[in-house]
Chain A
Amino acid sequence: MIGGLFIYNHKGEVLISRVYRDDIGRNAVDAFRVNVIHARQQVRSPVTNIARTSFFHVKRSNIWLAAVTKQNVNAAMVFEFLYKMCDVMAAYFGKISEENIKNNFVLIYELLDEILDFGYPQNSETGALKTFITQQGIKGQHQTKEEQSQITSQVTGQIGWRREGIKYRRNELFLDVLESVNLLMSPQGQVLSAHVSGRVVMKSYLSGMPECKFGMNDKIVIDKQGKGGASDDAGKSELGGSGKQSIAIDDCTFHQCVRLSKFDSERSISFIPPDGEYELMRYRTTKDIILPFRVIPLVREVGRTKLEVKVVIKSNFKPSLLAQKIEVRIPTPLNTSGVQVICMKGKAKYKASENAIVWKIKRMAGMKESQISAEIELLPTNDKKKWARPPISMNFEVPFAPSGLKVRYLKVFESKLNYSDHDVIKWVRYIGRSGIYETRC
């Protein structure tokens, strides 16, 4: 299991050092600093073995988190734990920075004791942790017996992510369908690979221990129901609207509150949600993706000292919708001396420090087209190696789900309290963003 956990600043100074096991010597802290943080080379692996000791590291801004062990631990678990640790810290004090870590020194040690016992990860749900680990030290002195046993049963219990007795005057929930479209396109416009990775984020402000059921236009479910009878058709259009009837989901994963065995057998998503914001599910689709933008590059080398670039972008969605925060990044060679840009819409600038022309458009409606052309002057070099031509990348945000996913329903049942599904105010929002959206040129 995990033998110890260190947090370093960007210089390699130790901010936090917690050793759980005897087999981790004091020199381990230094070994990592010398061999990884101060190494001249770029990091070649997130797992490093130094003198039979294995180090796992992740970096958050300029803070290094390293877990260390001498055993054959579950590597995936260690990384998952490190990410979780970051989430927990962020939930307690915001951004993970050197200053925040120093200011919350005591708290971090306390957390480390609670969520990692002898190197075994324990309950790490922030909701539960916050009930008894607070910035003022461990609670406990002033609680009643009931409160105490409630805490322990929650921390160890089946529903470790939610406490009993939550009350809201207004029962409300927000669903965000956040998708990122990833695309790799050849210069000729052939889709080399495209997929959507989506997340359903839920903010729930519900009283009691509500039982929820979530439904979307999953092809498998719709097909199954189609056989049973077409009576559900009305429900389909309720929240959905236009677009495809159903989508094929390649794979999905769920927050631990979802009953996986039920999903496996009936493909129904039922759960008791944590309070507040959390990620209900993640999914991935590859079929019939709406690619919101198409990039058409044209690069011409004029002699050895000049490049002509022309890039056309076309929006490919309903004209009534507006895409926002559009940014096209056209890489330029390292030996660029000057750039002249002309664009029809938005603003374009050559950023020498980033070796790219950045073209920004605030808004763009569907089924439109825009163009940029640039002349790039090059300094003559004797470098034999040709310019590697990195792909043109794009960023944007669109108000629909490129995968075609629609939320069909989210039903809430709470038998003990007197509110019903109809009393809950529900909000659904779809946001499609660019993931890695690249066109080779």
Chain B
Amino acid sequence: LQCLCFCLCLYSGEIFELKAELNSDKKEKKKEAVKKVIASMTVGKDVSQPDMAIMAVNTFVKDCEDPNPLIRALAVRTMGCIRVDKITEYLCEPLRKCLKDEDPYVRKTAAVCVAKLHDINAQLVEDQGFLDTLKDLISDSNPMVVANAVAALSEIAESHPNSNLLDLNPQTINKLLTALNECTEWGQIFILDCLANYTPRDDRESQSICERVTPRLSHANSAVVLSAVKVLMKFMEMLPKDLDYYGTLLKKLAPPLVTLLSAEPELQYVALRNINLIVQKRPEILKHEMKVFFVKYNDPIYVKLEKLDIMIRLASQANIAQVLAELKEYATEVDVDFVRKAVRAIGRCAIKVEQSAERCVSTLLDLIQTKVNYVVQEAIVVIKDIFRKYPNKYESVIATLCENLDSLDEPEARAAMIWIVGEYAERIDNADELLESFLEGFHDESTQVQLQLLTAIVKLFLKKPTETQELVQQVLSLATQDSDNPDLRDRGYIYWRLLSTDPVAAKEVVLAEKPLISEETDLIEPTLLEELICHIGTLASVYHKPPSAFVEGSRGVQHKRLPARAGSGESTESPDVGQSVSGVSDAPPAVIPSQGDLLGDLLNLDLAPPTTTVPPVPSSMQMGAMDLLGGGLDSLVGFHTCPAPVGMPAGLGAAPAVGGGLGDLFDLGGGVGMTSGSYSPPRVVWLQAMKAKGLEISGTFARRGGVIQMDVSLTNKAMSVMSDFAVQFNKNSFGMAPAGPLQVLTPLGPNQTVEVSLPLSSTGPVMKMEPLNNLQVAVKNNIDVFYFSCQYPISLLFVEDGKMDRQVFLATWKDIPSDNEAQFQIKDCHLNAASNKLQGSNIFTVAKRTVEAQDMLYQSIKLTNGIWVLAELRIQTGNPNYTLSVKCRAPEVSQYVSQCYELILKN
């Protein structure tokens, strides 16, 4: 019989096919399959009955009682492999016995068998109570049994996101930590991965777990080390930063991470992908370890590329000289991808470390001199970014760049070069010739280049209008008439119209000062980063994608989040919910703004591609627009024929040109036409007549056209006439002060009311008030002086230019310590266009992501005193409760900001 088991083990690979055949309808085939099963199991036995599969099972059942534990284990393991429903029913009894077997080898095999059975028939496992038995095994005396039970439970729990299967509490955690010291390397991995799902109740528990996990960092098995790092990175979140232990822990993490780099290349790759995440989350850990990431000549290409990435992240003023020397070395290597990345890295160093910019530029120029085609192209792309970062500093190199114009054959490099020519048209004598040369093959160019060429020529025209009329006319007609690309056509029309209606405005728009580009690029979005940190060591951390992006079905759909630091605003989950962090499964999944995206943005920042959806416009309006266009253009450039209306597609082409649409498109928002949407609280009585000798004051605040106004109604409820009104504010948190006198021109008769708007400035004396938005006001009239205090919504202070660049946003979000993050719930909101409504009050949506029916709005706000507030608003479809996370360097403000959100969203 033992022999049978063994045979079946051998054949279990074929079980796959057999299963299909056993389930097939054809009797003939079925018979054949059964025969095969038996043949493979009972070598030499006479087979005569058709339902032998069951009989074969009987032999297994018998084997489960064998005196030899190896045979018992083999039998139960093999039965789990036969994935035929009929057989599984017979498996239950032997399995139950084996789970309680006296021999640990049988128990550890049976524990895994429960997971197998669950995979075939989950309901059966639950009905039979195997899950409880499995839970009991966590307290088993044998460490390997514990490890397998943990592994099986973790897997089963993954497919039941909301169940409380892995009931992690301090007692079980203690058992796991004990088993951790004793079990095999693989068992340690199972246990550590499971521990990472636990949320300690407080910082002390978190510290004590960390203390017991740190010895694992010296394990020879890299996977054990990485899983330990995961647990530590996660629990470290909960430790107060001023704790001595926190610093010790940070120091302890660096050496094992470096040691991972001496492992085999495949493991190095996994380690490097993870280090990339760790460096983004906690740059302090590896900041002194730059040298170990230097590329070795014989490293496989995948290791080289990853090392390069990390080198750039770690580059700082202190080590930039070394880094640059290395990068220059790499730029002469053989692998094209690697060389390109190295060249790009030099550019990124220039942008990141200002002191090195000059050296970087000269290095890049050296590289351009090599004339190696792809090196030159890559260098030009990064030089464009350097120009953006340090305007008016390195333009002397333009001449060298122009020499290489002909060798550029890649769209990105061509586009970059065209951008440079357009941007510095006034300094390049033959700019028009250069651009004209590109224009010849306009239709063969990629969209990127076409768009760039269009913009560059318009820039050129605005700078040198006299000589380039013909050129601009040519490119506009190419873009609007001959192109099928809506982006290109739309951009063409917009320029056309801008130029025709108001050349001055066109200049302001097209030649506007560009926002600076941020230092760090390719940063992973904070929420995604947090999730990936929870997945250190796993595939998710290798792909830098959440598991839901590559795992099918229900597994891995839960999103993990880092625990909140003790004492932060985030509500801490009770331990039983928090156990599998999935309890907080509304944690946002997030998508990385891919590199392509960012680069695209960089390139086109001078004119964002029109992404706003255009509302359908009635045709009459379209006609009007065309008129405008035709006439205007005539008068401006002196065209006699206007080709536009002919080629113009209905609706689409015309619409964006009209008023608001245009503003939207260029983010011209700045106060124009926006104010109507700004939130203003309802009127309140501030001063009651009884207390003020008959003067009643009520009022509200509003922000109109960028000016804060206090709308006051003064009512005279006394018998005598009131006059000589004046107002004064006490010092307050944001320095609000009347910008002019309180203008009540005529004396106020009895029972008369007067409405006054008092403009306010925010440049007055500052003193912190409690609450922060409190305003103490003194009003004087001919009778007396009256005092009252009122509270203004902080949204008054949100200024119109509060829209942050997307990358600056990312960097800032990361930069603000997570202590400063506060979370709020906004209940019962029923809105469709939250972002528009918020924008009315100068809360700007920087980016929006929709993942699994959850909208995430990333928003920025700037206060009058220059404080930036970053917010993330999560809206789940069908759920009226929104979640708001606010991050600000002045965390006191957060609470008031959240109040404003609530007020604005609900009004």
Nearest A residue to B101 via CB reads A152
Q: Is residue B445 within 8 Å, beta carbon to beta carbon, of the partner chain?
A: no
Give CA–CA (A407, B575) in the complex, Å.
48
Q: Report A-chain residues with C-beta under 8 Å of the C-beta of B669.
A: none
Known contacts A72-B555, A120-B190, A145-B67: A22-B83 contact under CB 8 Å: yes
Q: Per-residue CB proximity of B215-233 to A under 8 Å, as 1/0?
A: 1101111110111000000
Is there contact, CB below 8 Å, between A76 and B215?
Answer: no
Q: Is residue A260 within 8 Å, beta carbon to beta carbon, of the partner chain?
A: yes
Give CA–CA (A121, B12) in the complex, Å.
18
Q: Is residue B835 within 8 Å, beta carbon to beta carbon, of the partner chain?
A: no
Is there contact, CB below 8 Å, between A71 and B551?
Answer: yes
Q: Is residue B543 within 8 Å, beta carbon to beta carbon, of the partner chain?
A: yes
Tell me the A174-207 residues at the B interface (CB within 8 Å): 184, 186, 192-193, 195, 197
Give CA–CA (A292, B126) in the complex, Å.
65
Q: Is residue A157 within 8 Å, beta carbon to beta carbon, of the partner chain?
A: yes
Q: Is residue A220 within 8 Å, beta carbon to beta carbon, of the partner chain?
A: no
A44-52, A91-99, A302-310, A409-417 - the one binding chain B: A44-52
Is there contact, CB below 8 Å, between A156 and B108?
Answer: yes
> Chain A, interface size: which category?
35 or more
Give CA–CA (A367, B351) in the complex, Å.
47
Give CA–CA (A124, B186) in the complex, Å.
9
Give CA–CA (A90, B234) in the complex, Å.
38
Nearest B residue to A263 via CB reads B218
Nearest A residue to B143 via CB reads A158
Tell me the B309-360 residues at the A interface (CB within 8 Å): 322, 325-326, 329, 332-334
A162-170, A235-243, A383-391 - the one binding chain B: A383-391
Is there contact, CB below 8 Å, between A76 and B223?
Answer: yes
Is there contact, CB below 8 Å, between B300 and A43?
Answer: yes
Among B104, B296, B329, point to the contact of A436 (Cβ < 8 A). Answer: B296
Number of residues of chain B lying within 8 A (CB) of chain A: 103
Give CA–CA (A122, B552) in the complex, Å.
26
Q: Report A-chain residues with C-beta under 8 Å of the C-beta of B537.
A: 74-77
Q: Is residue B264 within 8 Å, beta carbon to beta carbon, of the partner chain?
A: yes
Q: Report A-chain residues with C-beta under 8 Å of the C-beta of B302.
A: 43-46
Q: Report A-chain residues with C-beta under 8 Å of the C-beta of B145.
A: 156
Is there contact, CB below 8 Å, between A250 and B542?
Answer: no
Among B12, B142, B186, B300, point to the contact of A156 (Cβ < 8 A). Answer: B142
Give CA–CA (A139, B106) in the complex, Å.
16
Q: Is residue A312 within 8 Å, beta carbon to beta carbon, of the partner chain?
A: no
Q: Report A-chain residues with C-beta under 8 Å of the C-beta of B300.
A: 43
Quick one: which of A72, A143, A152 has the most chain B CB within 10 A?
A: A72
Q: Per-residue CB proximity of A112-143 to B under 8 Å, as 1/0?
A: 01000110111111000000100001101101
Among A141, A251, A255, point to the contact of B255 (Cβ < 8 A). Answer: A251
Give CA–CA (A281, B259) in the complex, Å.
12
- Closest-CB distance, A399 to chain B (whole angstroms): 23
- Closest-CB distance, B4 to chain A (whole angstroms): 12
Known contacts A120-B112, A156-B104, A156-B142: A193-B291 contact under CB 8 Å: yes
Q: Is residue B540 within 8 Å, beta carbon to beta carbon, of the partner chain?
A: yes
Nearest B residue to A253 via CB reads B220
Is there contact, CB below 8 Å, between B143 and A151?
Answer: no
Quick one: which of B223, B264, B371 has the most chain A CB within 10 A?
A: B223
Is there contact, CB below 8 Å, between B186 and A122?
Answer: yes
Q: Report B-chain residues with C-beta under 8 Å of the C-beta of A197.
A: 262
Is there contact, CB below 8 Å, between B541 and A75?
Answer: yes
- Closest-CB distance, A19 to chain B (whole angstroms): 6
Q: Report A-chain residues with C-beta under 8 Å of the C-beta of B326.
A: 192
Nearest A residue to B181 via CB reads A261
- Closest-CB distance, B289 to chain A (whole angstroms): 10
Q: Per-residue CB proximity of B594-638 to A under 8 Å, as 1/0?
A: 000000000000000000000000000000000000000000000
Q: Report B-chain residues with C-beta under 8 Å of the C-beta of A22.
A: 16, 83, 119
Q: Report B-chain residues with C-beta under 8 Å of the C-beta of A264.
A: 214-215, 218
Is there contact, CB below 8 Å, between B215 and A260?
Answer: yes
Q: Report B-chain residues with C-beta under 8 Å of the C-beta of A120.
A: 112, 148, 151, 186, 190
Among B10, B16, B109, B155, point to the contact of A106 (Cβ < 8 A). Answer: B10
Q: Report B-chain residues with C-beta under 8 Å of the C-beta of A73.
A: 538-539
Give CA–CA (A76, B16) in the complex, Å.
28
Is there contact, CB below 8 Å, between B189 and A77?
Answer: yes
Q: Is residue A42 within 8 Å, beta carbon to beta carbon, of the partner chain?
A: yes
Q: Per-residue CB proximity of B441-470 to A under 8 Å, as 1/0?
A: 000000000000000000000000000000
Using a Cβ cutoff of 8 Å, how many contacts connect chains A and B? Answer: 261
Give CA–CA (A385, B370) in the complex, Å.
7
Tell me the B262-294 residues at the A interface (CB within 8 Å): 262, 264-267, 269-271, 291-292, 294
Known contacts A132-B70, A145-B67: A250-B189 contact under CB 8 Å: no
Q: Report B-chain residues with C-beta under 8 Å of the C-beta of A106.
A: 10
- Closest-CB distance, B10 to chain A (whole angstroms): 5
Q: Is residue B556 within 8 Å, beta carbon to beta carbon, of the partner chain?
A: yes
Among A26, A57, A156, A259, point to the contact of B105 (Cβ < 8 A). Answer: A156
Q: Is residue A18 within 8 Å, beta carbon to beta carbon, of the partner chain?
A: yes
Q: Is residue B193 within 8 Å, beta carbon to beta carbon, of the partner chain?
A: yes
Known contacts A80-B221, A193-B294, A252-B218: A117-B105 contact under CB 8 Å: no
Q: Per-residue CB proximity of B127-146 to A under 8 Å, as 1/0?
A: 00000000000000011110
Q: Report A-chain residues with C-beta under 8 Å of the C-beta of B694.
A: none
Nearest A residue to B16 via CB reads A19
Is there contact, CB below 8 Å, between B259 and A253?
Answer: yes
Q: Is residue B781 within 8 Å, beta carbon to beta carbon, of the partner chain?
A: no
Q: Report B-chain residues with C-beta under 8 Å of the C-beta of A58.
A: 264, 266
- Closest-CB distance, A3 to chain B (whole angstroms): 11
Q: Is residue B840 within 8 Å, beta carbon to beta carbon, of the partner chain?
A: no
Is there contact, CB below 8 Å, between A148 and B70?
Answer: yes
Nearest A residue to B255 via CB reads A251
Is there contact, CB below 8 Å, between B223 and A19?
Answer: no
Quick one: which of A1, A44, A120, A284 has the most chain B CB within 10 A?
A: A120
Is there contact, CB below 8 Å, between A386 and B550?
Answer: no
Among A153, A386, A388, A438, point to the contact of B104 (Cβ < 8 A). Answer: A153
Q: Report B-chain residues with C-beta under 8 Å of the C-beta of A193.
A: 291-292, 294
Q: Report A-chain residues with C-beta under 8 Å of the C-beta of B891.
A: none
Q: Report A-chain residues with C-beta under 8 Å of the C-beta of B301.
A: 42, 44
Is there contact, CB below 8 Å, between A388 and B69?
Answer: no
Q: Report B-chain residues with C-beta under 8 Å of the C-beta of A184.
A: 294, 296
Tell me the A355-396 residues at the B interface (CB within 8 Å): 384-386, 388-391, 393
Q: Report B-chain residues with C-beta under 8 Å of the C-beta of A151.
A: 70, 105
Known contacts A22-B119, A46-B269, A75-B270: A70-B551 contact under CB 8 Å: yes
Nearest B residue to A110 via CB reads B9
Among A21, A132, A195, A256, point to the contact of B185 (Cβ < 8 A). Answer: A256
Q: Report A-chain residues with C-beta under 8 Å of the C-beta of B115.
A: 118
Q: Is residue B902 within 8 Å, beta carbon to beta carbon, of the partner chain?
A: no
Is there contact, CB below 8 Å, between A76 and B294?
Answer: no
Give CA–CA (A374, B16) in the complex, Å.
64
Q: Is residue B723 within 8 Å, beta carbon to beta carbon, of the partner chain?
A: no
Q: Per-residue CB proximity of B148-160 to A under 8 Å, as 1/0?
A: 1001000100000
Is there contact, CB below 8 Å, between B264 and A152?
Answer: no
In the A-B complex, the 9 residue pairs with the closest CB atoms: A251-B255, A152-B105, A76-B223, A264-B215, A77-B223, A260-B215, A121-B186, A72-B547, A46-B266
Can you report 13 A-B residue pairs in the complex whose CB atoms are below 8 A from each other? A18-B13, A71-B556, A72-B547, A74-B538, A80-B267, A117-B77, A120-B112, A145-B67, A152-B104, A261-B181, A263-B215, A264-B218, A384-B372
Known: A75-B541, A76-B267. 14 other contacts (CB 8 A): A22-B83, A23-B552, A45-B302, A46-B265, A74-B223, A76-B270, A140-B68, A149-B69, A152-B106, A156-B144, A251-B259, A256-B221, A263-B218, A436-B297
Residues of B within 8 A of A (CB): 2-3, 6, 9-10, 12-13, 16, 67-71, 73-74, 77, 80, 83, 103-106, 108-109, 112-113, 115-116, 119, 142-145, 148, 151, 155, 181-186, 189-190, 193, 212, 214-216, 218-223, 225-227, 255-256, 258-259, 262, 264-267, 269-271, 291-292, 294, 296-298, 300-302, 322, 325-326, 329, 332-334, 370-372, 535, 537-543, 547, 550-552, 555-556
